[in-house]
Amino acid sequence: MWKDWIRPLVRPLPQWATVAVAQPQQVVSATLRWGGQSADVTADHTVASLKPLMIATSVDAGQRPVLEYRDSATGTLLGVLHLVQAAPVVTQKASLALYHVAAGEHYCLGWPRRAWNAWLQNRQMQKSRTSHHFAMKPAAVQQLMIAYLCPRPVVLVSVDTPVHQNIFPMDLIGPLDRSGFFSLALRSTNVSMPVMRDVRRVVLSNVPATMKVAVYKLSEHHKQPLADWSALSFPMRRSREFGISAVAEALRVQELTIVHSQQIGSHTFFLGRIASDEKCAEGDQLHHTAGFYQAYRRRQDVPLTDV
Ligand X SMILES: Cc1cc2nc3c(=O)[nH]c(=O)nc-3n(C[C@H](O)[C@H](O)[C@H](O)COP(=O)(O)O)c2cc1C
Q: Which residues bind ligand X (CB under 6 A)?
A: 131-132, 154, 169-172, 185-187, 190, 215-216, 219, 222-223
SS3 217: helix
Least distance (Å) between residue 47 CB and ligand X:
8
Q: Which is nearer to ligand X, 78 or 215 (CB)?
A: 215
Q: Which is nearer to ligand X, 187 or 252 (CB)?
A: 187
Nearest by Cα to 54 from 67, 36, 40, 42:
67
Q: Which is nearer to ligand X, 67 or 204 (CB)?
A: 204
Distances from the Cα of 31 to the Cα of 28, 81, 147, 155, angstroms: 10, 10, 12, 24
Least distance (Å) between residue 7 CB and ligand X:
26
Least distance (Å) between residue 56 CB and ligand X:
13
Q: Which residue is nearest to ligand X (CB)?
A: 131
129 CB-contact burial (10 Å; exposed 0-12 / middle 13-18 / buried 19+): exposed
Q: Which is nearer to ligand X, 58 or 285 (CB)?
A: 285
Nearest by Cα to 288 from 277, 301, 304, 272:
304
Beta strands in 41-115 (DSSP E): 45-49, 54-57, 66-71, 77-90, 95-106
Q: Which is nearer to ligand X, 66 or 125 (CB)?
A: 125
Cα separation, 42 vs 297, in Å, equals 19
Least distance (Å) between residue 152 CB and ligand X:
8
Least distance (Å) between residue 267 CB and ligand X:
6
